[in-house]
Each structure stands twice: as C-alpha cells, then as structure tokens.
Structure 1
Amino acid sequence: MTDTKKTALVVSAHSADFVWRAGGAIALHASQGYAVHIVCLSYGERGESAKLWRKGEMSEDKVKIARRSEAEAAAQILGATVEFFDIGDYPMRADKETLFRLADVFRRVQPEFVLSHSIKDPYNYDHPLAMNLTQEARIIAQAEGYKPGEKIIGAPPVYSFEPHQPEQCEWRPDVLLDITEVWDKKYAAIQCMAGQEHLWEYYTRVALQRGVQAKRNVGITSTRNIEYAEGYQSLFPRVTENLG
C-alpha cells in the first residue's frame, strides 16, 4: 500500500462473502481513490461450495482453485487487492500465528476503516470467528509492544456488513451506504461467484431493499436517486465535531 492513498481493509471469512456483503462499498471507495485490500480467511471449500461438489469427481484442492479464481476475478472488477489465508472452513479455527498474520496486515495496510462480519451468527460460526479475529488483530496492531519499531495503526472504525439473516444475528444497520453508481460493478462481481449462483438474486433483492430504506432516510426533498444500498453496523462510536 502506498502512503499517497487512503486505505481500507475487508476481512472475509469465505472467498465470496466480501462480494455479497461489501462489494458495493469496495467498488465505491476504490472509485474514490482508496486502496482497498481484502483478506479471505478461507476459500469456503467445504461449506460454501455445494454446486461445485455436486459436479462429482471433485476434491478440496480443485474446489479451492475454483473459488480462488472466482474471488480474484471479483476483486479485480471491484478494484481491490486480495490475499488468501487458507485456514479452512466448517469448521474454521484460528491459531496465534493466524492472529499475528492478520495484525501484520493491519500494520501494512494502515486502514482508514475496516469491514467484516456480524458479531453473532447462529447459522455460521465461521462468520463471528472472522469478526472476533479482526477485532483482536486490530488491538494487537495498535500495541507499541508488538514488534517494537514498526508503525502502529490508529483506531480505524469497524463496521459489520449484513449477514444472511440479520434478525437472527441481532444485526441492526446504523449506516446505509448508497452504492447505486457502482451497482453494475458489484453485480458483475456477484456473477463471478459461479459456485453460489443461487445467491445472485437474493443479494440483488437485499441491495434494492436497502436502497428503498436509504432513500427514505435522506428525505423526500432529496434529489439523490438512490436505488441500491448496503447496510452496515458500526462497532464503535463515531467521533465528530458536528451532528449535521
């Protein structure tokens, strides 16, 4: 990452999560000049790749190759860089080395903001693990005593992107991000996810629904033509000099 650009970090449990849930934010900020970096903790090779497994004569290595190719193509469309930790899924487990590895990414990227999963998800334990890992890595990357002499990070805001079933995850958006101008890029990235084609329409409906809510929240006098949006829940208070 260069010092001339603002940066952002997205931590995705599986290799498609960042597309469904944050593809609009990634494309939007990339278009604004941000260097957005994505970490995929796993490829989702076991639990997120049913269509690939149903083809028969499949192995984990073959699924990983297909999933990596999909994620790389999607990241390129969105204008982001991506790396893969390959720590496995269903179940996902993270050791101290993985934690430090992610802390090192924080130090390298120096993000202005961070996106990851909801803190709770009774349908998928990999998702809250990813957020917990993200939060702890952020704390370590702030610590002067971790690899002394390196540049520490500040306190980048952390946002939870929308889970598949928000009510069951106790997720409530307090930020609605207008992604109308980059929806074509997000949908093109969605179409890269051939292994989960059943979710294309679902996340289109989610974006349209959040778009309706966003337009309502800017008021009827606004001239903004909001059609698509993404929802986010902030983990920390926003510090500001005014409430406008």
Structure 2
Amino acid sequence: MSAKPTALVISAHAADFVWRCGGAIALHQELGYEVTVACLSFGERGDSARLWKEGKSLDEVKAIRRAEAEAAAEALGVGDLRLLDLGDYPLRLDAGAQDQLVDIIRDVQPKWMMSHSRWDPYNTDHMNTTSFVLEARMIAQAWGHNPGEKVLGAPQLYLFEPHQTEQMGWKPDVFLDITPVWDKKRAAMECMNGQIHLWDYYTRVAQQRANHFKRNSGGQAGGRDCKYAEGFETIFPVCVDELA
C-alpha cells in the first residue's frame, strides 16, 4: 500500500473512468494521491461499435481498447491501472470477480471510492457494477473475511455522472472544479478513438457542471469562477466538525 493518500475508481468499461471522472483522477494525482483505476471490462462488445463496423475481431477490439485505456490513464497521471477483463454486455460478476475486487479494495485502502449511478436502464452493466462495488466494500470491512488482512475503514463512495443523466435518478451533491487539469482530461478523452462522438459531448457536460459549481459557490453574490467541473452523488453521510 502506498504511503500517499489513496483513492479507487471502479469502472464497468475501460472508457467510463475517462468521461465521468477523469478530472477528479488527474486533480487528485496532482494533489499527491495515488489513484487506482480498476476496469472490470474493456467495453469490447458494447462500447466499441466503430471498431466492429470496421470488421475488427474480438481480440483486435480488446487489444485496441486496452491500449486506449492505458494511454488515457497515462494522460491522467494514473500509475496503477488494473484491467480485470471480465467481459461486457453483459458484465457477469461472479464470486471470483468479487474476490478480486475485495482484494483490490483491501490492497489500496482508499480514502474514497468512485463508481457508477445506482440506476441505469440503458446500460445494466453500470448499475450492476455499483451494486457489486457496494457489496465488495461491505465484505472488505468484515473482520471475518480472510482474517489477518487489514480491513477497510469507511471510504465515501462517490457516484459519477451517467450518460443519460435525467433518466437515472442521479442527483449530484458535490461539484469539483477540474479547470486546472482540464487539458489532461481532454487529452485522455482523445485517447478513446473508439468513441470519438463523446469527446465534445463530455466537454459540454463539464462546462454545464462548471455553471453549477459557480452557482453553488456563491452565485450572484460572488461565486468562484470555474470553466470545467464534474458532479458526484454521495452514498454515505459526511462527518464534519463544523457546518460550511
């Protein structure tokens, strides 16, 4: 385990971490965190339509998406990218996969975690990932699971923004200014050549969330300037000594 503060992002497919929380990853890497990204699949079947239309084989698609994920992680400053290759559409999360994720969580000992929204009827891989992450987090906290290992504390689980936001019941209560690292996020997005159509879409999302950041940091009374932001929904209560 790193001596630095750590964080863990669990992404159903190999591009999800880039679109939805690439700014948070890059920003916290610059703040001295060691951010681990665990991709459960490459998104080879469901997120790679352009490659299939080009006549690529399954192995070719997976190799391309692997290379894209590795390049994007490098652009964000990630030194610990774990590619579990569990398959997608559907993403089948069995007991063996659960053991792998619990081991990762205990190894990383994250200060905070991130994953998908709790509801996503357009892509059940996403919402199944979040249920899977919550259960793995619970197991990692259990003293009776593999006794002798260091158990997990109580890291917050942040849910990053889904693609069809209005349909997902996702309600952000945290806005993060990613303006200082926007160039890194955009560079990471441009590594995802299998989904070029999303580059500008997620640029617009970041600009929209920047408006929400400004409004909620003071609004017309003098909110902080912000050009790009990401939104997150928290699962667990936040413990504080003073109200902001």
The yes-or-no answer on 1:211 pairing with 2:213 is no
Alignment-mate amino acid for residue 88 of structure 1: G
Q: CA-to-partner distance for each residue in 1:98-130, whole Å, 9 max, x for gaps?
A: 001100000000000000000100100000111
Q: 3-state DSSP class of the match of 1:46? A: coil
Aligned to 1:243: 243
Aligned-residue offset at 1:192? 0.2
Aligned equivalent of 1:67, options 32, 44, 65: 65
Aligned-residue offset at 1:225? 2.5
- Distance, in Å, in 1 between the alignment partners of 2:231 and 2:189 is 17
- Distance, in Å, in 1 between the alignment partners of 2:134 and 2:185 is 26
Aligned to 1:229: 229
- 8 Å Cα contact 2:175/2:213 also seen in 1: yes
- Distance, in Å, in 2 between the alignment partners of 1:38 and 1:206 is 22
Aligned to 1:144: 143
Aligned to 1:153: 152
Which stretches in structure 1 are left out of the alignment for 5+ residues?
none
Q: 3-state DSSP class of the match of 1:167? A: helix
- Distance, in Å, in 2 between the alignment partners of 1:197 and 1:222 is 37
- 8 Å Cα contact 2:105/2:152 also seen in 1: yes
Alignment-mate amino acid for residue 54 of structure 1: K
Deviation beyond 2 Å, 4+ runs, structure 1: 220-225
Alignment-mate amino acid for residue 226 of structure 2: I
Q: CA-to-partner distance for each residue in 1:28-69, whole Å, 9 max, x for gaps?
A: 00000000000000000001001111112x111110000000
Aligned-residue offset at 1:166? 1.4
Alignment-mate amino acid for residue 83 of structure 2: F
Aligned to 1:89: 88
- Distance, in Å, in 2 between the alignment partners of 1:227 and 1:10 is 24
Aligned residue pairs, count = 242
- Distance, in Å, in 2 between the alignment partners of 1:140 and 1:172 is 26
- Distance, in Å, in 1 between the alignment partners of 2:37 and 2:129 is 13
Q: 3-state DSSP class of the match of 1:159? A: strand
Q: Mapping of 1:46-61 within 5 angstroms?
A: 46-56=45-55, 58-61=56-59
Aligned to 2:16: 17
- 8 Å Cα contact 2:214/2:223 also seen in 1: no
- Distance, in Å, in 1 between the alignment partners of 2:158 and 2:129 is 13
- 8 Å Cα contact 2:216/2:223 also seen in 1: no
Q: Mapping of 1:34-45 within 5 angstroms?
A: 34-45=33-44
Q: CA-to-partner distance for each residue in 1:177-208, whole Å, 9 max, x for gaps?
A: 11000000000000000000000010000000
Aligned-residue offset at 1:173? 0.4
Q: 3-state DSSP class of the match of 2:196? A: helix
- Distance, in Å, in 2 between the alignment partners of 1:223 and 1:8 is 28
- Distance, in Å, in 2 between the alignment partners of 1:175 and 1:97 is 33
Which stretches in structure 2 are left out of the alignment for 5+ residues?
none
**TM-score under structure 2 length normalisation:** 0.97
- Distance, in Å, in 1 between the alignment partners of 2:223 and 2:215 is 12
- Distance, in Å, in 2 between the alignment partners of 1:223 and 1:202 is 25
Aligned to 2:161: 162
CA RMSD of aligned residues (A): 0.9
- 8 Å Cα contact 2:217/2:223 also seen in 1: no
**TM-score under structure 1 length normalisation:** 0.97
Aligned-residue offset at 1:221? 4.4
Q: 3-state DSSP class of the match of 1:33? A: coil
